[in-house]
């Protein structure tokens, strides 16, 4: 009969080693969001040729990515702190009856699984360093 053996899991070390990769993956996602804002890919009703969604640069500069450490569930938020960010992202009907088209700069990076791909790569490296 084979010898018995014990496996000791250090769940705090394992979970703790995933916090930084989680935040780093979110930083990758945040940079991709910002790239989408400056990408010349967005149409405009009066000018169908692709353009970026930067007019004054305020929307791009208003981006805040915030880390909140917490085990077992750290959080990372992404926000654009201008009063018109939602109107640009989702589109809007203005008081004069005209409308702004939606330019959802977060959609493609989320659909492309930017966060998941970055996290997988970073987490593998971090978990590989656990002894």
Sequence-separated contacts (24+) of 9-15 with Cβ below 8 Å: 10/130, 12/71, 13/130, 14/127, 14/130, 15/71, 15/72
Q: What is the pTM for the complete model shown?
A: 0.83
Q: What are phi and psi of 56, to 5 degrees?
A: -100, -15
Calculate ∠ Cα 41-46-48, nearest 5°: 35
Instruction: Determine which of 7-11, 86-90, 109-113 has the lowest per-residue pLDDT on average.
Output: 7-11
pLDDT, residue 22, reads 93
Q: Identify which has the larger pLDDT, 99 or 15.
A: 99
Q: Is the pLDDT of residue 34 over 80?
A: yes
What is the CB-side half-sphere exposure of residue 122 using CA atoms within 13 A?
18
Q: What are phi and psi of 91, to 5 degrees?
A: 85, 160
pLDDT, residue 29, reads 98
Calculate ∠ Cα 26-32-33, nearest 5°: 90
Domain boundaries, the chain: 12-128
Helix ranges, 5-75 (H): 11-38, 58-61
Banded model confidence at residue 7, pLDDT cuts 50, 70, 90: low
Banded model confidence at residue 11, pLDDT cuts 50, 70, 90: low
Mean pLDDT, range 117-125, rounded to an integer? 94
């Amino acid at each position: 009969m084979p010898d018995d053996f014990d496996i000791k899991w250090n769940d705090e070390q394992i979970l703790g080693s995933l916090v930084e990769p989680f935040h780093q993956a979110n930083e990758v996602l945040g940079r991709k969001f910002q790239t989408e804002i400056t990408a010349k890919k967005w149409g405009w009703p009066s000018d169908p040729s692709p353009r970026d969604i930067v007019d004054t640069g305020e929307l791009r500069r208003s981006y805040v990515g915030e880390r909140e450490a917490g085990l077992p569930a750290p959080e990372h938020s992404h926000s654009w702190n201008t009063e018109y960010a939602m109107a640009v992202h989702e589109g809007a009907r203005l008081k004069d009856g005209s409308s702004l088209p939606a330019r959802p700069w977060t959609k493609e990076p989320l659909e492309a699984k930017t966060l998941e791909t970055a996290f997988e790569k970073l987490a593998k490296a971090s978990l590989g360093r656990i002894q």
